[in-house]
């Protein structure tokens, strides 16, 4: 099997636009959760979210093209542009068919759907934009990126709820491993901070209602957590065949060495008891990586700040790692970003690669009251300087779908 390097990173998140800005905020323990500004929340029980604070699409997309893309596609274009520029890779006529794009979203163009449905009701069918359909289809994130960079290789997307970004990166990793492509732009994107989405998750009793203290609302593994916080953005990696990356002198953030995906086959929203499915997925990823459990020093946890996820992920880690679980550093960056749904695995893959590259582990913020049922080392509140050999990035989604990536420090 061919080896796969991470040679470029790009991110748009509630912490800002640009991987460097997001990394500095994350390692400083800053929260990106604020009051919702996108719509009137006066009658909503939930009035907080992780909105991107500083995004300008014109920095990444031609003005005439912006109106053809809903925000989730714009975020993917921005993160991909930054990642591709960071990689230094150039698409040519000779290599274009070996360069692909694999960027997914969990929900897709919900803001455009809500907006244009209102237009339809109020003004009739003749007032619908001809760009509506390509504005909302999830694979248009990959499609628009491929058009921009000229990538003529594999072009697809995963749509697997909160595991989307991880599955997209993992599937792209396997395409390079198996010699179908040499370079893949891969990750997740999402923007669904809308009345319908917030109301829907609220109806499930899934969201935090800590409206008066938004920056403390997302509190993974903390005893006083009361639900997750919706976030938005995009996280994208450039994956490249290792020998090619070395030959051209590329910066290598990390190596992807393992990938697991499976199903709980248990319940449409609740994880399998004791984290049984998550444990199997981590074991699968480790087996494919050729590493031993003791080689893993850090886990970027799914860590949603909900009771069952945090408990069952903790139990799954103990199942897989045994006594070594006590020596592992485990953190959830969702304390700072909220839960980016289909983009979560993308930005968390970027954070994991940067953790290995910089020798710094981002913290789990808002960890003030330990939960006796969640008793691992969650890197509480303050980043930790620590070089580790390898790390996992976990993502678990509705429908019982699980994804795990294994990253190894490049030396």
What would the two tokens of residue 256 be?
């992807």
> Is 339 considered catalytic here?
yes
- Dist. CA 194–CA 35, nearest whole Å: 13
- CA angle 8-9-13, nearest 5°? 165
Q: What is the CB neighbour count within 10 angstroms for residue 106?
A: 26
Residue owning tokens 């934009």: 129
395: Cβ contacts below 8 Å, ≥ 6 apart: 162, 163, 164, 165, 166, 167, 302, 344, 345, 348, 402, 403, 404
> Is 162 considered catalytic here?
yes
The catalytically annotated residue of 167, 281, 302, 374 is: 302
First to last CA, the chain: 19
Half-sphere exposure of 401 (CA within 13 A, CB side): 18
SS3 label, residue 162: helix
The catalytically annotated residue of 157, 281, 339, 374 is: 339
125: Cβ contacts below 8 Å, ≥ 6 apart: none
The catalytically annotated residue of 162, 197, 281, 374 is: 162
SS3 label, residue 403: strand
Kindly list the catalytic residues. 162, 302, 339
């Amino acid at each position: 099997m061919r080896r796969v390097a991470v040679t470029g990173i790009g991110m748009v998140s509630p912490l800002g636009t640009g991987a460097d800005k997001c990394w500095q905020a994350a390692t400083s323990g800053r929260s990106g959760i604020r009051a919702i500004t996108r719509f009137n929340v006066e009658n909503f029980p939930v009035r907080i979210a992780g909105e991107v604070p500083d995004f300008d699409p014109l920095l990444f997309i031609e003005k005439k093209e912006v109106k053809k893309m809903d925000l989730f596609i714009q975020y993917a274009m921005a993160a991909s542009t930054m990642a591709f520029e960071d990689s230094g890779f150039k698409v040519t006529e000779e290599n274009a068919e070996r360069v692909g794009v694999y960027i997914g979203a969990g929900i897709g163009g919900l803001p455009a759907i809500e907006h244009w449905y209102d237009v339809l009701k109020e003004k009739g069918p003749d007032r619908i934009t001809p760009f509506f359909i390509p504005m909302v289809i999830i694979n248009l994130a990959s499609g628009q990126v491929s058009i921009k960079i000229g990538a003529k290789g594999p072009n697809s997307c995963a749509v697997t709820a909160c595991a989307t970004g991880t599955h997209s990166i993992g599937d792209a990793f396997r395409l390079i491993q198996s010699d179908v492509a040499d370079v893949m732009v891969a990750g997740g994107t999402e923007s669904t901070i809308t009345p319908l989405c917030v109301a829907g998750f609220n109806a499930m009793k899934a969201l935090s209602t800590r409206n008066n203290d938004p920056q403390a609302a997302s509190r993974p593994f903390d005893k006083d957590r009361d639900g997750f916080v919706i976030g938005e953005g995009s996280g994208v990696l450039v994956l490249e065949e290792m020998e090619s990356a070395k030959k051209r002198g590329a910066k290598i953030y990390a190596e992807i060495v393992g990938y697991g995906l499976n199903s709980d086959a248990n319940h449409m929203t609740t994880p399998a008891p004791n984290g049984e499915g998550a444990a199997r997925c981590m074991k699968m990823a480790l087996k494919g990586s050729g590493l031993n459990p003791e080689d893993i020093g850090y886990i970027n946890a799914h860590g949603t700040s909900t009771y069952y996820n945090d408990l069952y992920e903790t139990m799954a880690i103990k199942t897989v790692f045994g006594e070594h679980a006590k020596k592992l550093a485990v953190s959830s960056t969702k304390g700072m970003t909220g839960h980016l749904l289909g983009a979560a695995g993308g930005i968390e893959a970027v954070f994991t690669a940067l953790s290995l590259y910089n020798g710094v582990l981002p913290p789990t913020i808002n960890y003030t009251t330990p939960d006796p049922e969640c008793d691992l080392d969650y890197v509480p509140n303050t980043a930790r300087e620590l070089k580790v050999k390898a790390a996992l990035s976990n993502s678990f989604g509705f429908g019982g779908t699980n994804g795990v990536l294994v990253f190894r420090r490049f030396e």
